[in-house]
């Protein structure tokens, strides 16, 4: 739906984007993460068409939108709904009036405008706040109105720039829920720029890690967590505590990543049963990525067929990442 | 030593002069607003970081604006005589004073307006840009509407300033409260008229200021959180 190709941008000789290439499939949520100064904001401003890249292309439905001007540019902007960083609502307009702004820009007549605003207020769960002014709303409510405004003109892409940066965890949840609903109910393709891995954990299908103006990692979240070397897995999976004393009492010690209900629920007991080994979880834990339970466990195994058990876990869908004690250990 | 002017005459003088002052100041404020707000908008649009940055246009406009503001009003009053004659068909009287008053106030209003518009937060303006709004719509619905309370206050400040300027109207026979205080009060050693006028001016400006503050507050939709 939206692709970013080889985007570069520098400011007074300092390069902010260094050939960024990204691809977001229609109806999915991509989280762009990275440390401060990685170029996240610049990328967001380029995609929002507030900043023109030095080179490269941003394509929505195949059309490059980076070189447009005048009314074509304004039309392209309506294709991309933007939830800007920080407070961006008109303080002299009601919540409903703020949501109506893109519809006014698009020249949609009053009655249709009011209907659409009503739908959006419903989508973000703030129907009762239609007549409230931004100063009468909480930070989370204001941000949900900003999301509704971004969605008003039926954009095919929704860009959210640090949508949760100023919010407490609970409010963050409500804003993310609204973004997720936008994807689920409107089929919008969502691109979230954030420094918060929690956002990726909760609603992103895909993730792109930006460092020094480059994409250093890009893929499906559930694929990347299986790769122990990935930044995504180390940021999202539960840590495995090192406990050498504990580990010394096992024939085999290995880390496994398990994705999905079946894997997390039944795999380990079955492995223990099948191969007649003692299998203990000595570290790690369970988490949830979106709706999917994901676990990273450090396992300690005792028994002659420990290696076979680990192998079987790998074949059954778990990814066994590190055999901390090799075959030349006690069992040999 | 002649006796003091009777109070009934003082009131009559004041009423007449107030009418002249309000006429001069009122009309010139309207003109200065109608012409000064676009100047301020233009200044802000062309400024660095504005919606249509243009250093050359901005510099020229700034220069003209500042030149206009630096001109002492009394000089403007006499310097514009020929322009005034061309525009209103005469160069003396209250109507003639309106021309230099308005001309003097346009750059004043322009600068005030630019300063106010520049206070509208950049994220709010950029959010409007991302909705695909045209520059005209952003000027109207965002820049001007968001700063309306401050703009109304600025017009109030302009009115008060113009009341001050209009005190010099007497130079070209414009009349008004300032002229009354100087000609009837000060130059004729008529303390009753002088001090009555001073007191009345204080009341008048206070009331006008209060009125503008009230209207500005009524136009302000920012309310403290009630939830």
pLDDT in tens, A195-236: 999 899 999 999 999 999 999 999 999 889 888 788 888 888
**Contact between chains at A92 and B220 (C-beta distance less than 8 A):** yes
CB A195 within 8 A of CB A186: no
Give the helix/strand (H/E) hosting B21: helix B7-46
Question: Whats the size of chain B, residue-wise?
Answer: 227
Q: Least CB-CB distance to A91: which of B128, B131, B222?
A: B222
Partner-chain contact B124 A89, CB within 8 Å: yes
What pLDDT is stored for residue A324 in this prediction? 66
Residue A105 touches partner B, C-beta closer than 8 Å: yes
pLDDT tens digits, A164-178: 887 888 889 999 999
Decide if B137 touches A, using CB distance below 8 A. yes
Q: Is B223 on the interface with A (CB under 8 A)?
A: yes
Checking if the pLDDT of A328 tops 60, the result is no
Residue with tokens 């406990």: A243
How many Å apart are CA A197 and CA A238, to the nearest integer? 13
CA angle B58–B62–B66, rounded 5-degree value: 180
Mutate to test the interface with B, among A46, A48, A88 (most CBs of B within 10 A): A88
Report chain B's mean pLDDT, rounded to a whole number.
Answer: 91
Residue A261 or A239, more confident: A239
Yes or no: say if A89 and B124 are a contact pair by the CB < 8 Å rule: yes
A residues 209-268 closer than 8 Å to B (CB): none
A49, A88, A136 ranked by CB distance to B123: nearest = A88
* Strands A206-211, A63-64: pairing kind: unpaired
Question: What is d(CA A41, CA A44) in angstroms, rounded to the nearest whole number?
Answer: 5
Structure tokens that stand for B25 in this block: 């100041």
A131 Cβ under 8 Å from any chain B Cβ = no
Where chain B has pLDDT below 70, the residues are: 1-2, 223-227
What tens digit of pLDDT does each residue of A79-117 get? 999 999 888 999 999 999 999 999 999 999 989 999 999
Closest residue in B to A93 (Cα) is B221
| Partners of residue B131 in chain A, C-beta under 8 Å | 77-78, 101-102, 105, 149, 152-153
Tell me which of A69, A105, A117, A137 to substitute to probe the interface with B (most B C-beta atoms closer than 10 Å): A105
Residue A32 CB partners (closer than 8 Å, separation 6+)? A22, A40, A43, A44, A191, A192, A193, A194, A207, A208, A210
Give B-chain residues touching A152 at CB under 8 angstroms.
Answer: 131
Instruction: Report the percent of chain A where pLDDT is more than 90.
Output: 55
User: Does the distance separating the beta carbons of A78 and B132 come in below 8 Å?
Assistant: yes
Structure tokens at B26: 């009122």
Question: Which chain A residues are within 8 Å of B222, Cβ to Cβ?
Answer: 91-92, 133-135
């Amino acid at each position: 739906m939206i692709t970013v190709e080889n985007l570069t941008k520098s400011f007074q000789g300092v390069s902010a984007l260094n050939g960024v290439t990204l691809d977001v499939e229609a109806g999915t949520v991509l989280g762009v993460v990275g440390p401060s100064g990685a170029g996240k904001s610049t990328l967001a401003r380029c995609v929002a068409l507030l900043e023109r890249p030095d080179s490269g292309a941003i394509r929505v439905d195949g059309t490059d939108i980076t070189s447009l001007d005048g009314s074509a540019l304004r039309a392209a902007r309506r294709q991309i709904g933007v939830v800007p960083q920080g407070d961006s609502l008109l303080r002299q307009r009601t919540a409903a009036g703020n949501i109506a702004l893109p519809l006014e820009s698009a020249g949609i007549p009053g009655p249709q405008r009011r209907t659409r605003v009503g739908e959006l207020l419903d989508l973000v769960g703030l129907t009762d706040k239609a007549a409230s002014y931004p100063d009468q709303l909480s930070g989370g409510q204001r941000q949900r109105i900003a999301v509704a405004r971004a969605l008003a003109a039926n954009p095919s892409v929704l860009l959210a720039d640090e949508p949760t940066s100023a919010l407490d965890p609970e409010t963050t949840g409500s804003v993310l829920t609204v973004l997720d609903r936008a994807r689920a109910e409107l089929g919008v393709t969502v691109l979230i720029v954030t420094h918060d891995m929690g956002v990726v954990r909760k609603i992103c299908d895909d993730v792109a890690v930006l460092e020094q103006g480059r994409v250093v990692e890009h893929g499906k979240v559930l694929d990347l967590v299986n790769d122990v070397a990935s930044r995504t897995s180390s940021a999202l999976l539960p840590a495995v505590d090192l406990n050498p004393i504990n580990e010394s009492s096992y024939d085999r010690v290995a880390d496994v990543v398990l994705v999905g209900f079946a894997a997390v629920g039944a795999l380990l007991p079955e492995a223990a049963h099948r191969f007649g080994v003692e299998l203990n979880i000595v570290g790690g834990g369970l988490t949830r990525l979106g709706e999917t339970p994901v676990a990273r466990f450090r396992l300690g195994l005792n028994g002659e067929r420990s290696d076979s058990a680990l192998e079987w876990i790998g074949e059954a869908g778990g990814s066994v990442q590190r055999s901390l004690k090799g075959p030349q250990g006690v069992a040999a | 030593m002649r006796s003091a002017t009777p109070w009934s005459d003082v009131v009559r003088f004041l009423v007449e002069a107030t009418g002249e002052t309000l006429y001069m100041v009122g009309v010139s404020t309207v003109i200065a607003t109608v012409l000064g707000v676009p100047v301020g908008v233009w200044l802000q649009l062309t400024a660095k970081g504005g919606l249509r940055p243009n250093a050359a246009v901005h510099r020229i406009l700034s220069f003209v604006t500042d030149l206009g503001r630096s001109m002492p009003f009394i000089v403007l009053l006499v310097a514009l005589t020929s322009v005034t004659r061309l525009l209103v068909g005469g160069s003396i009287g209250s109507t003639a004073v309106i021309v230099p008053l308005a001309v003097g106030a346009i750059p004043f209003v322009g600068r005030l307006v630019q300063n106010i518009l520049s206070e509208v937060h950049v994220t709010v303006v950029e959010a409007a840009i991302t909705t695909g709004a045209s520059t005209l719509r952003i000027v109207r619905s965002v820049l001007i509407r968001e700063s309306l309370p401050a703009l109304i206050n600025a017009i109030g400040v302009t009115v008060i300033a113009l009341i001050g300027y209009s005190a010099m109207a007497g130079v070209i026979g414009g009349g008004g409260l300032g002229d009354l205080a100087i000609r009837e009060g000060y130059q004729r050693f008529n303390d009753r008229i002088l001090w009555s006028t001073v007191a009345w001016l204080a009341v008048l400006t206070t009331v006008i200021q209060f009125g503008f503050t009230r209207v500005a507050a009524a136009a302000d939709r920012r309310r403290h959180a009630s939830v």
